[in-house]
């Protein structure tokens, strides 16, 4: 369960803070490198720290892009496989089921919105729509029918 804070889940808020901190660190290391170059000092430590910072930022950006709907589900993985592979990795869906030869959708529980600002108190699901061959064709966050 992931509570809603400032319109974001706790994980989304953490990722925003992490990316912000990494960006600030990159700027600081860049300034240190420029100052060291001006004073003819070696800047190996700052260069290594900057490189590590850039790698961490890239990893965080790739994670955010591939898990754009919910941190527990890799959208790129889901959209590249059929529903059988998806259920092997994530388990049986909480909403809906796969019927061979028919298009449909299944849903995995993500969280219930009990935030302090305008909560809907409804469970939110990660829905996967699939075509007749079972290949996932769309993913999105949604509420149960009637919600």
pTM of the model: 0.69
Residue spans per domain, the chain: 4-66, 75-142
Average pLDDT over residues 101-107: 90
C-alpha 111: how far from chain center = 14
**Whether residue 10 has pLDDT greater than 80:** no
Average per-residue pLDDT in the chain?
82
Average pLDDT over residues 67-93: 88
In the chain, % of residues over pLDDT 90: 16
Indicate the burial class of 36 (C-beta count within 10 angstroms; 0-12, 13-18, 19 or more). Answer: middle
CA distances from 53 to 15, 43, 57 (A): 15, 15, 6
**Helices assigned H by DSSP within the chain:** 10-38, 44-66, 75-80, 83-90
Average pLDDT over residues 9-17: 71
CATH topology of domain 75-142: Beta-lactamase Inhibitory Protein; Chain:B, domain 1 (3.30.1450)
Phi-psi region of 27 (alpha: psi -120 to 50; beta: other; left: phi over 0): alpha
**Whether residue 2 has pLDDT greater than 80:** no
């Amino acid at each position: 369960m992931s509570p809603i804070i400032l319109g974001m889940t706790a994980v989304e808020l953490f990722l925003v803070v992490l990316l912000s901190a990494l960006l600030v660190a990159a700027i600081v290391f860049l300034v240190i490198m420029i100052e060291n170059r001006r004073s003819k000092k070696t800047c190996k430590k700052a260069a290594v720290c900057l490189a590590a910072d850039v790698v961490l930022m890239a990893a965080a950006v790739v994670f955010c892009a591939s898990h754009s709907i919910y941190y527990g589900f890799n959208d790129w993985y889901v959209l590249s496989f059929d529903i059988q592979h998806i259920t092997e990795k994530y388990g049986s869906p909480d909403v809906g089921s796969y019927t061979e030869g028919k298009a449909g959708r299944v849903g995995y529980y993500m969280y219930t919105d009990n935030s302090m600002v305008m909560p809907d108190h409804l469970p939110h699901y990660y829905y996967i729509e699939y075509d007749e061959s079972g290949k996932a064709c769309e993913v999105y966050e949604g509420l149960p029918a009637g919600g």
